[in-house]
Chains A and B, each alone.
Chain A
Amino acid sequence: MKKVLVIQEDLIILKILERLVSLNNYECKAIPSLSDLSIEDQESNFNFIITDILFEGIAPLQFVAQVQEILTHENLLIVTSMGQDKIKQEIFALSGISGFYAVPIDLDEIDATLKAYNE
């Protein structure tokens, strides 16, 4: 089964994304921060990582770079409330980002992306 990792501090968004991913027939690991990831999961290959960029103790750009370094993945989607154009440009400058969704998020777009990958 294809795997998706969702990292969101906001419990409500986390739950909604988890549900969206699960109903698209992906195995979903939903966690509020990177430190909640088990060692087993750290070794997994995720088809998608859907993550926020605002976490304690790490700058947004550093966080994205860290996720890219330590987790094997195919697609990295950013879902964040800090979605100003400036931040978006900086994040894309890091390269390897598949999508950037600023709050308010149109979940249908994420849904379509997941479905397209599944087909």
Chain B
Amino acid sequence: MWDSVENFFGSGIVYDLTNYFFFTYGIILLCLYFAGVLLASRAIRRTKRRATFLQVGDIVSATDIPSVTLVAPAFNEGLTIIENVKSLLSIQYPYYELILVNDGSKDDSMEKLIREFDLEQHDASFISQPIPTASVRHIYRSKNKKYTHLTVIDKNNGGRADALNTGINFATTELVVCTDADCIIEQDALLKMVRPYLEENKEEIIACGGGIGIANDSIVKNGVLKELRLPNSIVPMVQVVEYIRAFLLGRMAWGEVNGLMLVSGAFGMYPRKRLLEVGGFDNKTVGEDLELCIRLRTHMENLGKPYKVVYLPETLCWTEGPPDYSILVKQRDRWARGLWETMSINKKLFFNPKYRFMGLFYYPYWLFFEFGAPLVEFFGLICIIAFGLFGWINWPVAILLFFAIYLLGCIFSTAAIFMYVKSFDHYTRPKQIIELLLAAYLEPFVYHPVIVFGQMKGYYKKLFGIKSGWGTMTRKGFKVSET
């Protein structure tokens, strides 16, 4: 058919195949996004209506609600540890315990905690460890009656997942919330998170997540977000939009079809029983939150029990996003490696009818459109350069097409911002909304290429076996109000 490589390329088959591939990929993605908007808006509306019948005020006064332990690992966070613990202690929930796990910090975290909270050592000889972890040195509880809900576990370093597992082992409550010590949790977050468990009907809730927001440059007082401000620089500013879009559109939509495969590590609630059954977080992967959620789902599929993973649309946890490009690249590099590892660990799910929708649809989606997206984009870039050099591109049409795709992206981001503004009152000033919209419209030029680079870097490391851990994520810290 083609007697030489030159003829093969010259026949136009490569050009056509490539075009059809990108066109099909783009159309499927577009349809999924569009369905996402519809499903998310239905889910948000439904969640709000349901909340009318189960208000926070009702839950706070109720007896018999499940008890909750919040597990917060900390590693070398001596600078902010006292403020962070006070913030976590102030969460409003009647049956609440806080377990802070000091994961072998080398700074003065422990000394500060002991001093501030009047901690005294308790016997650690008989701690049961259903999930194996690095050894526990000591357990501390406060002598001060103000801090009866606080337990500090001092253990040898084993990484975030290991620290969370230690907290899960030690917890005695029905539900466990896993978070980070430096996150700012909304005061009524647990009251809202527990809702799905109270309303659990035929399907068991195996994980519940809440929206996570970016709060760089915001004002914090007494560990509470006093004034939510938009970040000053463009990198975290675009992340605000990215998070709104991801949590409000993506997660809510997937939740609506019970297709959620990820509950963010920064803030997720799980039944302790199920966590113990699956052996807690996997400390061999850097994407431990995604891996745990998939493992929990797989476990329930194996048990043959109906289950649900749910998300709440409201932002319940505030965190500090990477403030600049270099830290952003490190973060996305880590996420990409975590995704690679998780996809690889769970490859048995791929088009496996035993796992029903998860095997036939959700896992393949993650593989093709989450894992595959940076690869496709990178490949697309190469094709544009190559086809441009060959003179195969009709530039006027290409530019118009590019502009149309750009506009579509803008519409999805604007729709997400609209849904956020309509549902929540975090950003209320016109100036803030205009800034958010501008950030969304700049995203494809100043932000997206960088995250693709970060992801490709992560894949490269995995492909060539380059060892890399969590990487350091330097945080500037929130602005603390003096008044």
User: Do A and B touch each other in the complex, judged by CB within 8 A?
Assistant: yes
On chain A, the residues within 8 Å of B61 by CB distance are: 81-84, 102-103
A58–B60 touching, CB < 8 Å = no
Tell me, yes or no, whether B172 is within 8 Å of chain A by CB.
no
> Which residues of chain B from 52 to 94 have a CB within 8 Å of any chain A CB?
57, 60-61, 63, 86-87, 89-92, 94
Tier of interface size on chain A: 20 to 34
Within 8 A of A (CB), among B259-298: none
- Closest residue on chain A to residue B224 by CB atoms: A57
Q: Do the beta carbons of A82 and B94 come within 8 Å of each other?
A: yes
Please count how many residues in chain B sit with their CB below 8 Å of the partner chain's CB atoms.
22
Give the residues in chain B near A102, CB-CB below 8 Å. 61
Residues of A within 8 A of B63 (CB): 84-85
Q: A31 on the interface (CB 8 Å rule)?
A: no
Asked whether B145 lies within 8 Å of A87 as measured between CB atoms, the reply is no
CB distance from B122 to the nearest CB of A (A): 19
Q: Smallest CB-CB separation from A64: which chain B residue? A: B146
Q: How far is the CA of A93 from the CA of B60 in the complex (A)?
A: 21
A111 on the B face (CB < 8 A) = no
How many angstroms between the C-alpha atoms of A20 and B221 in the bound complex?
A: 33
A42 neighbours in B (Cβ, 8 Å): none
Give B7 Cβ to nearest chain A Cβ, in Å. 73
| Chain B CB within 8 A of A24 CB | no
When A57-B221, A57-B222, A103-B61 are in contact, do A82 and B146 touch as well, CB less than 8 Å? no
Set of chain B residues within 8 Å of A60, measured between Cβ atoms: 92
Q: Are A59 and B94 in contact (CB under 8 A)?
A: no
- Asked if A86 and B94 sit within 8 Å, CB to CB, the answer is yes
Q: Check B60 against A82 for contact (C-beta < 8 Å).
A: yes
**CB-based nearest A residue for B65:** A84
A57 to B219, CA, bound (A): 13
B45 sits at the interface (CB 8 A): no
A61 to B92, CA, bound (A): 11
A119 contacts chain B at the CB level, 8 A cutoff: no
Residue B187 at the chain A interface, CB threshold 8 Å: yes
B154 CB to nearest A CB, Å: 22
A54 and B146 contacting across the interface, CB-CB below 8 Å: no
| Of the residues B91, B92, B147, contact of A82 by C-beta under 8 Å | B92
Task: Give the docked Cα–Cα distance between A83 and B221 (Å).
Answer: 27
Q: Does B146 lie within 8 Å of A57, measured CB to CB?
A: no
Of the residues A54, A61, A65, A90, contact of B60 by C-beta under 8 Å: A54
With A57-B221, A83-B61 already in contact, the answer to whether A65 and B94 are too (CB < 8 A) is no
Across the interface, A57 reaches (CB within 8 A) one of B60, B90, B95, namely: B90
Q: A82-B92, A86-B94 are in contact. Are A59 and B146 (CB under 8 A)?
A: yes
Nearest CB on A from B444, distance (A):
39
Give chain B residues whose Cβ lies under 8 Å from the Cβ of A83: 61
Is the CB of A62 closer than 8 A to any CB of chain B? Answer: yes
> What distance in Å separates the Cβ of A10 from its nearest Cβ neighbour in chain B?
9
- Do B90 and A58 have beta carbons less than 8 Å apart? yes
Task: Report B-chain residues with C-beta under 8 Å of the C-beta of A58.
Answer: 90, 222
Contact B148 A90 (CB under 8 A): yes
Q: Which residues of B contact A16 (CB under 8 A)?
A: none
A71 in the interface, Cβ–Cβ < 8 Å? Answer: no
Interface string of A85-103 (1 = CB under 8 A from B): 1110010011000000011
Interface status of B149 (Cβ within 8 A of chain A): yes
A1 to B61, CA, bound (A): 35
**B47 → chain A closest CB, angstroms:** 23
B-chain residues with CB within 8 Å of residue A54 when the two chains form the complex? 60, 92
Interface contacts beyond A54-B60, A59-B90, A59-B91: sample of 11 additional A-B pairs, CB < 8 Å, sorted by A? A59-B146, A61-B147, A61-B149, A62-B90, A65-B146, A81-B60, A82-B60, A84-B61, A84-B63, A86-B94, A93-B148
Chain A contacts to B: CB under 8 angstroms: 54, 56-62, 65, 81-87, 90, 93-94, 102-103
- 21 inter-chain pairs at a CB distance below 8 angstroms, sorted by A residue, are A54-B60, A54-B92, A56-B187, A57-B221, A57-B223, A58-B90, A59-B146, A59-B149, A61-B147, A61-B149, A62-B86, A62-B147, A65-B146, A82-B61, A82-B92, A83-B61, A84-B61, A86-B94, A87-B94, A94-B146, A102-B61
Contact surface of B with A, Cβ cutoff 8 Å: 57, 60-61, 63, 86-87, 89-92, 94-95, 145-149, 187, 221-224
**CB-CB nearest 3 A-B residue pairs:** A57-B222, A57-B224, A81-B61
